[in-house]
Amino acid sequence: MKKIATFDDWIDAFYAWRKDIDLRLPPKFAEYPFEAKYGEIKSNEIEYGDFRGARKWERVTQIPHQPIRDALLNLIVYQGDTEFASVEQQRNLLETSPSEYDTESICRIMLEEMRHGWQMCHLLVHHFGETGKVEARKQLERRSWENNRLLGSFNVKVDNWVDFFAYTEFVDRDGKFQLNMLSTSGFAPLARSMGPMLREEGFHLGTGHMGLQRIVKAGVLPVPVLQKFINKWLSTAYDLFGKDSSSSAEWFYVWGLKGRYDESRQGSEVDKAHLNELSREMYRQEVEKLIQSINRLIPVGGPQLYAPSLKFHRGIGEYAGQTFSVTGELLTPEEYEKHLAEVLPSPAEMEDVGRLMQEPGWIAPREAVASAS
């Protein structure tokens, strides 16, 4: 990929990336207006940390120390990487779309994820000089299927629409939390980017939640099999909140770059050593309620869906690599390997679900869930 000297160069690279990943959207979506959108911010003053009360920075050169600038760059790079990765993960699902509504939904989601990546690269190219231009180019060079996207969840294959709905319910919901926490950033252009992104993200979450409801409503995919997809995606979504006792999260807060979720509603007491744990727990509580709402569509006496333990199948944090079950019991390594085979989708189940995608009626129409709610 050629060197990025201007944002127009990056735009050329963006369209080359779309071609390279073989993204084929229906012609009706060809005119989607990719653009950087900047909204309003709630406060012109830095809202937390050591610089609280100072005016938010409009330019990187106003940020007083290089480590703060580097940390800000890192936040933007990671956010942008997730956006492009998600499109790479989902791009092949159009062939098995269950309805025109679902085709339009996934196309809208992929287009908006690309716009979000565009937004982050707009920041990188316009505010971070040569380093930002290099990082903006790298956003389009990594590939999910080569396992070199920056966060683990974004290297996992999204093989079918059950994966997709669980992904948009749980992984995209982490995205909502991250965008919310960046919406109070002391770097004003980043904070202004978040409002439009959050509004668009709401549709992605709604698509995932309604999709899981529609699967349950149809009653074709066994609930225990759906549970395995929840185990698969929710455990990796927990990892997206980062390490426990994270010094990076603490510095992000101290430097005014990234706040707590719903920062204005949080108390003045800040446990800066456990910011990631706070966000993850708030996320877990939200997810628990969503799963309970899905359970209301299961016939009385049927098996209930649940959120796996925070300890299960973790790759990051206090429980990384440990052998806890979906319900939080510590198993021997041998027991754990057997347990994983029982509680995650097996190759045979993935094949069955793949075949199911070819059949009508495996998922209820949107209207069936809307009328039931």
Which residues are 72's β-sheet partners?
A: none
CA distance 283 to 303: 24
CA distance 283 to 281: 5
For 77-98, what is each residue's pLDDT tens digit?
Answer: 999 999 999 999 999 999 999 9
Instruction: Please say if the pLDDT value at position 333 is more than 80.
Output: yes
Residue 228 pLDDT > 90, yes or no?
yes
pLDDT computed for residue 168 by the predictor: 98
Say what the pLDDT of residue 264 is: 86
Query: What is the Cα–Cα distance from 330 to 78, expressed in whole angstroms?
Result: 33
Domains of the chain: 64-358 (1.10.620.20)
pLDDT of 373 over the 90 cut: no
Residue-level pLDDT at 370: 75
Higher pLDDT, 59 or 266: 59
> How many CB atoms lie under 10 A from the CB of residue 86?
27
- Look at residue 134 in the predicted model and tell me its pLDDT: 98
What pLDDT is attached to residue 292?
98
For residues 51 and 186, the answer to whether their CB atoms sit within 8 Å is: yes
How far apart (Å, rounded) are the C-alpha atoms in residues 209 and 211?
5
In terms of pTM, does the model score above 0.85? yes
Mean pLDDT within 294-306: 97
Q: Is the dihedral of CA 58, 60, 62, 68 positive or negative?
A: positive
Mean pLDDT of 108-135: 99
Report phi then psi at 43, rounded to 5: -145, 140
CB 220, CB 361: distance < 8 Å: yes
Q: Rounding to the nearest 10 degrees, give the CA dihedral for residues 74, 80, 83, 86.
A: -50
Q: Is the pLDDT of residue 258 over 70?
A: yes
Residues 260 and 183: their CA atoms lie apart, in Å, by 10
Tokens of 36: 């950087």
Question: Residue 36: exposed, middle, or buried by beta-carbon count in 10 A (0-12, 13-18, 19+)?
Answer: middle
Average pLDDT, the chain: 97
pLDDT of residue 372: 53
Predicted confidence band of residue 1 (pLDDT cuts 50, 70, 90): confident
- Ranking 26-30, 84-88, 184-188 by mean pLDDT, the lowest is 26-30
**Residue 112, token pair as written in the block:** 């908006």
How many angstroms separate the CA atoms of 196 and 32, rounded?
16
* Measured distance CA(261)–CA(253) in Å, rounded: 12
Q: What is the mean pLDDT of residues 336-360?
A: 97
Mean pLDDT of 233-242: 98
Which H, E and C letters describe the chain, residue by residue?
Answer: CCCCCCHHHHHHHHHHHHHHCCCCCCHHHCCCCCCCCCCCCCCCECCCCCCCCCECECCHHHCCCHHHHHHHHHHHHHHHHHHHHHHHHHHHHHHHCCCHHHHHHHHHHHHHHHHHHHHHHHHHHHHCHHHHHHHHHHHCCCCHHHCCCCCHHHHCCCCCHHHHHHHHHHHHHHHHHHHHHHCCCCEHHHHHHHHHHHHHHHHHHHHHHHHHHHHHHHCCCCHHHHHHHHHHHHHHHHHCCCCCCCHHHHHHHHCCCCCCCCHHHCCCCCCHHHHHHHHHHHHHHHHHHHHHHHHCCCCCCCCCCCCCCCCCCCCCCCCCCCCECCCCCECCHHHHHHHHHHHCCCHHHHHHHHHHCCCCCCCCCHHHHHHHC
Six token digits for residue 317: 């944090």
Per-residue pLDDT at 369 exceeds 90: no
- For 133-174, what is each residue's pLDDT tens digit? 999 999 999 999 999 999 999 999 999 999 999 999 999 999
The CA radius of gyration of the chain, in Å to the nearest whole number, is 21
Residue 178 has a pLDDT of 98
For residue 2, what pLDDT band results from cuts at 50, 70 and 90? confident
